[in-house]
Amino acid sequence: MKSRILGAAALTLVVCACSGIQVNSDYNPDIDFTLYRTFAWAEGAGTGDDPRVDNDLVDQRFRRAIESELVSRGMEKTASGQPDVFVGYQMALDDRVSYQTVNSYYGTGWGYRGVYGGVGTSRTTSTEYTVGTLVIDVYDARQRELAWRGSGEGKVDLARNPEESQERINQAVTRIFRDFPIE
């Protein structure tokens, strides 16, 4: 199946912490998700073209977390034969800048005979940060159509080591799968 998995997500050495990720999902209500028992990875699933995350280490961490969520819901990964669903994910990183202006005015302002006193200054500061977006898609293998999509977006923070990176990815994936139709 030639699959174009849409979407995006967080940097591995830099994955969103669980508490700061905004998630949402959508699915086809006409599908009986209880019939899904097996899954396989969709062709083209992965980290995308961003050199900050396009590597095997990041890919393995995301696949491990997604597989764990599906297995915890009673699904089984299949290496041969026709799976019930194909699963894919993709990530995107977006560098952003936030500006904050603080005004400081000294003096009294209005007085008995009009305006008097006061000195004002403004200071604007900028903060650069990265937002990561992860999209996970589940496709019905027989119908070849999207059955479920979950996504998460949040500010990206550097992880100190591979274990912390995996834990952050696990937390983000768990949050995204929160409303998956299979318990």
d(CA 121, CA 105): 6
Please enumerate in sequence order all residues whose Cβ is within 8 A of that of 61, keeping only pairs 6 or more positions apart, or say none: 12, 165, 166, 169
For domain 18-96+129-179, say whether CATH 3.40.50.720 is its number. Answer: no
pLDDT digits (tens, 9 = 90+) for 52-65: 778 889 899 999 99
* Predicted TM-score (pTM) of this structure: 0.77
DSSP secondary structure code for residue 181 in this structure: S
pLDDT digits (tens, 9 = 90+) for 89-114: 998 889 899 999 888 766 555 555 55
d(CA 99, CA 118): 26
pLDDT digits (tens, 9 = 90+) for 132-155: 999 999 999 999 999 999 999 999
For the chain, what are the domain ranges?
A: 18-96+129-179
Neighbours of 160 (CB within 10 A): 8
d(CA 48, CA 67): 19
Please enumerate in sequence order all residues whose Cβ is within 8 A of that of 79, keeping only pairs 6 or more positions apart, or say none: 40
